[in-house]
Chains A and B, each alone.
Chain A
Amino acid sequence: MTRPVLIENARILDPWSGTDQGGGAILIEHGHISDVSTGGPVGVPDGAELINAGGQLVAPGLVDMRVFTGEPGHEYRETLQSAGDAAVAGGVTSFVMMPDTAPVVDDGALVDFLVRRAKANSKANILPAAGITRGLRGEEITEFGLLREAGAICLSDGRQSVQSAALLRTAMTYAANFGMMIVHQPIEASLLGEGSMNDGLLATTLGLKGIPREAETVALARDLQLALLSGVRYHAAQISCAASVELLAAAKAKSQTISAGVSINHLSLNENDVAGYRTFFKLSPPLRAEADRLAMVEALRSGAVDVIHSDHDPQDSEVKRQPFAEAAAGAVGLETLLAAALRLYHSGEVDLLTLFRAMSTRPAALLGLESGRLARGAPADIVVVDLDYPWVVTEAGMRSRSRNTCFEGARMSGKVMRTLVAGETVYSVDEITGVAK
């Protein structure tokens, strides 16, 4: 029997109810929120653990819709345990794990294994996505019904993009049958070609083959038409350019079951970060021009894009310290997601409720989770955030097994001081030293 917990003196931020108010308190019993007060008295049960938030922000824990791990198959990159540790240090209390592992998660038995293993080893809730196609090869669809029964949260081919429109149509129609969400990164492979960064003058001067924006928009237009045809719950896994926002806005006007995500990298960085062949900034989709980044920020404000995710993708130096075209794409991001997002708040570009809605409330709702809100009955997945706490990102300070961060040396304002998962404190920081306890 766990003790009840009372978080008091809290600035309650809850996008679900639209609340942003100081002097609040949250009572947690049996791993769930049993009362939320924004001023009035809260009954304190005997023996409750008291947490004084000191007026800091208390918000629902982050729900990250796009995380790659190394386990199973590449444990030296990341295990479920190290990913969980990195997640809670970044305020992420639940994340969707992409199926790009070895073996690929395309079978119910593997989903079942992952669910059990994550429960035993990870401080954060890990929600496995299962492949849309066997082996993520884009040739045959997987057993959607059995995968759902085994615990798959959604269907995704991870880094891969289904090239056959006919097969994608089949997958969408069948997924709609089971009410499952398809999370798909739109890439037209023939336009991607051998490209390794955004197409344009910078790629030309670096002598790198460019990836045109149309490699995304051509595939996205196709995906959206097929999603409307099938009525499936479709989530464009991540978009990177202004033209994609227009396509999404038009499709969303026709259907409630379409949504989209953007990685924090595409909200924070642009193609100029690649200069000097910096492979840690090689991402998929590639970082685009500043105008595209600004369009992503605007899409977040307008709601054309629903979700911000980390796109956490641990890669070791063997595959990163290579000539740019040969290097692997991807960057770790669980530990910097919230701090990087808060830059948009500090710069006045996006307000706090919008940010937390996109990182918690909205992804939780899309995934059908009870979390993502500070409401009675919801799981007590909660973060306490010091919005102004200054810190510098260092590779050495990271919990992830891989160090391929885009934010090495970045100065951040805002740090997670405490993370609770199901009412238990799984991460906390000494307020004076900034060191995890």
Chain B
Amino acid sequence: MTVEPLPPFRQRHLLSIADLEPHEIIFLLDKANDLVPVSRQDRKSLSTLSGKTQINLFFEPSTRTQSSFEIAGKRLGALVVNMSVKTSSITKGETLIDTATTLNAMQPDVLVVRHGSSGAVALLAQKVDCAVVNAGDGAHEHPTQALLDALTIRRHKGRLTGLTVAICGDIINSRVARSNLLLLGALRVKTRVVAPRNLLPSGIEALCTEVCTDMREGLRDADVVMMLRLQHERANGRMIPSIREFYRFYGLDADKLAVAKPDAIVMHPGPMNRGVEIDPAIADGPASVIADQVEMGVAVRMAVLDSLITARVHA
């Protein structure tokens, strides 16, 4: 039996997991896995992207994702510029298209963009010549988060196929949930979404293996428990009656985790609300791989930046 080599990565942008073929997902995961040691060595720098310019354009503030992309770019040798919106002209009524046109004229090689509106990053990508990475758009997608989650799972479990992953909490507002469901679905991983009905979007059944409205049912024999952040403002009686009620029925504590597999890992994209969706004892306990997720984030983003820019050079 011969193993065919994977076709090369040819994407112009990384806008959504939905755009990727399974072999492209695996290519990125393998490449990221190879890059993990770079961040563990003493001199953490490569020159792969030296002379390249990366602009991080964040319309929504996010310290962690922005730093992760910044470190990833710098470790590859790129010149990284951070633009946050509070200091830019967007607040003065400039349209997204105008911003795109302006930045494009500065000849960047890659734009990393986060925006509060679904589809905004794709719209911006239509107007620039460089590669664009979606660092989260509205409730649509957050593709690098799904990739880093998959890499974390694969490194802990040794595989993805055949696992059961439970994604719990504020599904309806979560781009992390959507990207993860698409990625895991593409790789034939069993997925369960676990949430009260009013935090589940219409048609979610088509995007996962199982829908559960009871935590214990949803966590039973799960290999991975992925918690989502619940925005405090949602627990104001308009979607969820209160934080304590949410925590009682959908917060992850030792009792609920006990029904998952004994070696189940607990994940969270951060930032966490301890005592809202997760018990501090679990968040900081032995099952938690949250710090690993952050580490894998840098490796995945290095792999994505390198692959997109390399694909352009070869195009």
Residues on A lying within 8 angstroms of B by beta carbon are 199-210, 276-277, 318, 321-326
Contacts and interface: CB of A to CB of B under 8 A. Distances in A.
B120 A323 contact: yes
Nearest to B140: A207
A207 B115 contact: no
Contacts of B138: 207-208, 323, 325
A203 B122 contact: no
A277 B96 CA distance: 15
B115 A204 contact: no
B90 interface: no
Interface of B: 18, 95-97, 115, 117-120, 122-123, 137-141, 175, 178, 201-204, 206-207
A322 B203 CA distance: 26
A303 to B, nearest CB: 32
Contact of B95 (A204, A322, A325): A322
Given A322-B96, A323-B123, A325-B138, A201 B117 contact: no
A323 B203 contact: no
Contact of A206 (B95, B123, B140): B140
22 contacts: A201-B203, A201-B206, A202-B203, A203-B201, A204-B201, A205-B18, A205-B178, A207-B139, A207-B140, A207-B178, A208-B118, A209-B139, A277-B118, A277-B119, A277-B122, A277-B123, A321-B95, A321-B97, A323-B119, A323-B120, A323-B123, A324-B119
Contacts of B207: 201, 204-205
A325 B118 contact: yes
B94 to A, nearest CB: 11
Contacts of A200: 202-203
A276 B66 CA distance: 26
Contacts of A205: 18, 178, 203, 207
B176 to A, nearest CB: 11
A203 B119 CA distance: 12
A133 to B, nearest CB: 28
Contacts of B115: 323
A210 B202 contact: yes
Contact of B204 (A202, A204, A207, A277): A204
Contacts of A199: 202
A210 B204 CA distance: 13
Majority SS of interface residues in chain A? loop
Contacts of A277: 118-119, 122-123
Contacts of B141: 207
Nearest to A319: B95
A202 B140 CA distance: 11
B236 to A, nearest CB: 15
A201 B118 contact: no
A324 B120 CA distance: 8
B123 to A, nearest CB: 6
Contacts of B95: 318, 321-322
Contact of B137 (A201, A203, A207, A318): A207
The 3 closest A-B pairs by CB, nearest first: A201-B203, A207-B140, A277-B119
Contacts of B206: 201
B127 to A, nearest CB: 9
Nearest to B206: A201
Nearest to A208: B118
A207 B96 contact: no
Nearest to B178: A207
A202 B202 CA distance: 9
Nearest to A317: B97
A199 B95 CA distance: 27
Given A205-B18, A205-B207, A325-B118, 16 more contacts: A200-B202, A202-B203, A204-B178, A204-B207, A205-B178, A206-B118, A207-B137, A207-B138, A207-B140, A208-B118, A208-B140, A209-B139, A321-B97, A322-B96, A323-B115, A323-B138
Contacts of B119: 206-208, 277, 323-325
Contacts of B203: 200-205
A218 B32 CA distance: 52
A202 B175 CA distance: 14
Q: Which of A201, A204, A207, A324 has the most C-beta atoms of chain B within 10 angstroms of its own C-beta? A: A207
Nearest to B126: A321
Nearest to B201: A204
Contacts of A201: 202-203, 206-207
B178 to A, nearest CB: 6
Contacts of A324: 117-119
Nearest to A321: B97
A201 B207 CA distance: 9
Nearest to A278: B119
Contacts of A323: 96, 115, 117-120, 123, 138
A207 B134 CA distance: 14
B104 to A, nearest CB: 15
A196 to B, nearest CB: 9
B268 to A, nearest CB: 20
Contacts of B97: 321
Nearest to A326: B117
A323 to B, nearest CB: 3
Nearest to A207: B140
A209 B202 CA distance: 10
A201 B201 CA distance: 8
Contacts of A210: 201-202
Contacts of B123: 277, 321-323
